[in-house]
Amino acid sequence: MAKKMYFQEEIETMPVEKIKALQEEKFLKQVKYVYDNNEYYRNLMDEKGVKPEDIKCMEDISKLPFLTKNDLREAYPYGLLCRPVKDCVRIHSTSGTTGRRVVAFYTQNDIDLWAECCARAIVAAGGSEKDVVQVAYGYGLFTGGAGLHDGSHKVGSLTIPMSSGNTERQIQFMKDLNATILCCTPSYAAYIGEKLHDMGMTADDINLKAGIFGAEPWTEEMRHSIEQSLGIKAYDIYGLTEISGPGVSFECEAQSGMHINEDHFYAEVIDPDTGEVLPEGSEGELVFTSLDKEAFPLLRYRTRDLVVLKREQCSCGRTHIKMCKPKGRSDDMMIIRGVNVFPSQIETVLLKCGYTPNYQIMVDRIGNEDTFDINVELSEEQFKQMKEDEDLEKARKSLTGAMVQMLGIRPKMHLLPPKSIVRSEGKAVRVVDKRKLHD
Ligand code: DLL
């Protein structure tokens, strides 16, 4: 059997008891550090009547208040900073479509640890200094580009800092420079695969072996579709700006959940309605506590991502706990005609039924009733095959039936000609919920 590869073997394969002890030691220090260095936290903890001295072990974490995105917005821009600005070397920011942006600050040490997390992900996807890593996540305020870029440097791979967009040039570089690992959002990877075929090439014309895809929810069906079109193994990577960026957790060869970098982040799953901590194996909202951040440490930050945590012996030899693919944010969940609907359920049905991953969900309210429409693009072949109106109608009916089975409610399906839905170069916009505009 080939030797297993890790970026930091000792940490990544550390016995669980040792990881837990390490987490506890760092946690106690981090609590005292934020209390001593940040007024906003001090007030929050004082309001709850907890002092750092009350926190004596990891279990005492339940005494601490939760932190939400609202706290981050309220404290914008410097309110949660635990170091003077002069000690910080960079910021990143969330896209902030609603309300104020969230700005996260980093010291050089924070950047180094974050880069190590991304390096672990690249090595877990089979990367080494012999690889050529094409980073097609956006560069700039978004953490995707910078995170994987720094991680690739740490590994010593040749890094192509493409950023997102200009897809033909993307493919040209990939081919000419023999890129072996592609990093971008899964929706952009799907588009690159489509464009490759449009340019008259197949996976055999490029040298990619792996992809590291994240920043948005994607289904197993989407994974298979990308793996086929690009001829690669596709690995998931998760993270969020508030906690650092990509690399909070990452997938290994087992491709069955993402190992959380437990030496830096402590994960809990809570009931999103009551805040009660749930036992391992239950689905709930993921909550993170950073264990060794300097500039922008967060204690018990509610991510709004719905996941299940499981600690199991993994074939890769890593011991860190795994999280399943997030089902989506709790606020991505739509309630349509009283039924909970996740975009990922719709994606699963579409790909299972042989449709493209190019779709858009539109919800509106007319009078008191929710309207629910799904636009799906046909592939060139499907479009050619379904020339007759009758064929189209038959396909539409059968797809509607499959949706009803999955969702429990009936959407109005629209099958559109190829290339009629705008492609995404970053995070795909899958849902247009006009009800929010009327509220
Ligand atoms: O998306 C960081 C990132 C960049 C992760 C590149 C992976 C790769 P934000 O823009 O702050 O940061 O968005 C964070 O995106 O709370 C999840 O809801 C979602 N998300 C991130 N990764 C995944 C994933 C980056 N692998 C928010 N699967 C998170 C599902 C994901 N959702």
> What is the Å distance from ligand 1's center to 103 Cα?
15
77 preceded by a cis bond (ω within 30 of 0)? yes
Give the residue-averaged pLDDT of 16-29.
98
Give the residue-averaged pLDDT of 320-325.
97
247 lines ligand 1 (CB under 6 A): no
Give the residue-averaged pLDDT of 69-80.
94
Mean pLDDT for all residues in the chain = 95
Cα of first residue to Cα of last residue in the chain, in angstroms, is 59
357 lines ligand 1 (CB under 6 A): no
> What is the Å distance from ligand 1's center to 48 Cα?
31
What pLDDT digit, counting tens, does each position of 104-119 carry?
999 999 999 999 999 9
191 lines ligand 1 (CB under 6 A): no
Is 2 a residue whose pLDDT tops 80? Answer: no
What pLDDT digit, counting tens, does each position of 207-230 carry?
999 999 999 999 999 999 999 999
> What is the Å distance from ligand 1's center to 45 Cα?
28
Q: 116-125, 198-207, 321-330: which has the minimum mean pLDDT? A: 321-330
Pocket test for ligand 1, best of 142, 218, 238, 242 (most atoms within 8 A of CB): 238
Is 439 a residue whose pLDDT tops 60? Answer: no
Instruction: State the pLDDT at residue 386.
Output: 87
Asked if residues 357 and 194 have their Cβ atoms less than 8 Å apart, the reply is no
179 lines ligand 1 (CB under 6 A): no
Pick the residue whose CA is nearest to atom 15 on ligand 1.
215
241 lines ligand 1 (CB under 6 A): yes
d(CA 48, CA 81): 21
119-129 burial code (b ≥16 CB/10 A, e <16): bbbbbbbbbee
Pocket test for ligand 1, best of 118, 122, 133, 143 (most atoms within 8 A of CB): 143
Instruction: State the pLDDT at residue 99.
Output: 63
Asked if residues 105 and 80 have their Cβ atoms less than 8 Å apart, the reply is no
332 lines ligand 1 (CB under 6 A): no
Give the three-class secondary structure for 32.
helix
> What is the Å distance from ligand 1's center to 374 Cα?
24
Instruction: State the pLDDT at residue 418.
Output: 95
Tell me the H-state helices in 75-158.
108-124, 143-155
245 lines ligand 1 (CB under 6 A): yes
Pick the residue whose CA is nearest to atom 29 on ligand 1.
240
145 lines ligand 1 (CB under 6 A): no
Pairing of strands 233-240, 210-214: parallel
Instruction: State the pLDDT at residue 229.
Output: 97
Pick the residue whose CA is nearest to atom 27 on ligand 1.
240
Cα dist from 46 to 41, 42, 103, whole Å: 8, 6, 25
Cross-strand pairs, 310: 322
Q: Which atom of ligand 1 is nearest to the CA of 148?
A: 6
The helix (H) or strand (E) run that includes residue 259 is strand 258-260
Instruction: State the pLDDT at residue 98.
Output: 57
> What is the Å distance from ligand 1's center to 213 Cα?
10
Is 332 a residue whose pLDDT tops 80? Answer: no
Pick the residue whose CA is nearest to atom 30 on ligand 1.
217
d(CA 303, CA 189): 25
Instruction: State the pLDDT at residue 404.
Output: 97
240 lines ligand 1 (CB under 6 A): yes
What pLDDT digit, counting tens, does each position of 153-180 carry?
999 999 999 999 999 999 999 999 999 9
> pTM of the full predicted structure?
0.96
d(CA 95, CA 107): 21
Is 438 a residue whose pLDDT tops 70? Answer: no
What pLDDT digit, counting tens, does each position of 286-299 carry?
999 999 999 999 99
Q: What is the DSSP string of 262-329?
A: TTTEEEEEE-TTT-PBPPTT-EEEEEEEESS-SSS--SSEEEEEEEEEE----TT---S-EEPPP--B
Is 387 a residue whose pLDDT tops 90? Answer: no
Instruction: State the pLDDT at residue 50.
Output: 98
What pLDDT digit, counting tens, does each position of 92-103 carry?
998 665 567 889
> What is the Å distance from ligand 1's center to 303 Cα?
10
> What is the Å distance from ligand 1's center to 245 Cα?
8
> Is residue 409 exposed (0-12), middle (13-18) or buried (19+ Cβ within 10 Å)?
middle
> What is the Å distance from ligand 1's center to 328 Cα?
10
d(CA 293, CA 34): 10
Q: Which atom of ligand 1 is nearest to the CA of 137?
A: 6
Sign of the dihedral defined by the CA atoms of residues 179, 182, 183, 189, in that order: positive
Instruction: State the pLDDT at residue 437.
Output: 66
Cross-strand pairs, 28: none
268 lines ligand 1 (CB under 6 A): no
3-state helix, strand, coil in the chain (%, to 5): 35, 25, 40
Is 1 a residue whose pLDDT tops 80? Answer: no
DSSP 63: G
> What is the Å distance from ligand 1's center to 386 Cα?
37
Give the residue-averaged pLDDT of 53-82.
96
Cα dist from 160 to 137, 146, 202, 234, 371, whole Å: 11, 12, 21, 19, 45
Is 201 a residue whose pLDDT tops 80? Answer: yes
d(CA 404, CA 64): 43
